[in-house]
Amino acid sequence: MSAAKSRARQRAAQKIADIQQALAAMQYLASGTLLKRTKVCGNPSCRCAQDPAARHGPYYEWSYLQDGRLRHRSLTPQQAELMRQAIANYRKARELLRTWKAHTQRLIELDTSE
């Protein structure tokens, strides 16, 4: 194996190790969308009926796919903060896995091109 191939192989292996470390550090993973909503109660004498800034809430709703169906779940503000981080982690994990795949393909190409 040439020195250039050896260095390329080491770089790819190091990047894969970095990705593995980043994935191991993630505690929560969840897919879906987190919404922050305010609502009108329907009582015509309530302040929310006249002033959009006075709507009730905020209420947090997590939307996700399960068994091919869209599901919705209400969350407390504390749960919403954890879910926000879990969704961000999930998106980052998907990107890291794509990168890992690319580096793996590069390693295989380097090993088979000798």
Query: pLDDT tens digits, residue range 68-78?
Result: 999 999 999 99
Provide the strand spans (E) within the chain. Answer: 33-39, 56-66, 69-75
CA-nearest of 62, 74, 72 to 35 is 62
Helix or strand or coil: residue 74? strand
| pLDDT score, position 47 | 92
111 confidence band (pLDDT: 50, 70, 90): confident
The token pair that represents 17 in the structure block: 């190790």
Measure the CA–CA gap between 5 and 87, rounded to whole angstroms.
37
Residues 49-72 have a mean pLDDT of 95
Indicate if the pLDDT at residue 110 is higher than 90. no
Indicate if the pLDDT at residue 114 is higher than 80. no
Whole-model pTM: value is: 0.82
Percent of the chain's residues with pLDDT above 70: 97
